[in-house]
Amino acid sequence: MKKYIQENYRVRAIPERHFGYETTEKDCEKLKKEIERHCDIEEVYVEHDTRCICEFCGSEWEEEWDNGMPFCCNKAQDEYEKLREEALNNAKNKPILKEPLNDTK
């Protein structure tokens, strides 16, 4: 039968949240130093989660699977179109590199 075991016990510490729901890296580093100063422990480290949001509207980032066009707002879609046009223009202006043909033995 399978059996669940508990291992790698550790403590997670979340600093007081001063600025809305976000906790800054600075607050975490400060708490880390306080823990290191007061406790006899092996290791303290700061971790974080990462999620992708739209820089314009703050929504979770979602895009069309085939072309990468974002769904959330007009600003994100305008930016996408602008970057896509720049990439196309850069590709047009680049000289085409010819591959050497001498490796066909």
With CB under 5 A as the contact rule, the residue among 72, 77, 79, 80 that binds Zn ion is: 72
In this structure, how many other beta carbons lie within 10 angstroms of the beta carbon of residue 76? 19
Q: Which is nearer to Zn ion, 28 or 76 (CB)?
A: 76
Q: Which of helix, strand or coil describes residue 19?
A: strand
With CB under 5 A as the contact rule, the residue among 13, 46, 57, 88 that binds Zn ion is: 57
Q: Is 54 in the site for Zn ion (CB under 5 A)?
A: yes
> Chain-centre distance of CA 24, in angstroms?
15
- What lies within 8 Å, CB to CB, of 61 at 6+ separation is 52, 53, 54, 70, 72
Of the candidate spans 22-30, 33-41, 64-72, 80-88, the one that interacts with Zn ion by CB under 5 A turns out to be 64-72
The alpha carbon torsion through 49, 53, 57, 62 (nearest 10 deg) reads -140
Q: Is 80 in the site for Zn ion (CB under 5 A)?
A: no
Q: How far apart are CA 12 and CA 44, in angstroms?
A: 9
Q: Is 56 in the site for Zn ion (CB under 5 A)?
A: yes
Of the candidate spans 4-12, 46-54, 84-92, 96-104, the one that interacts with Zn ion by CB under 5 A turns out to be 46-54
| Chain positions contacting Zn ion, by CB under 5 A | 54, 56-57, 72-73, 76
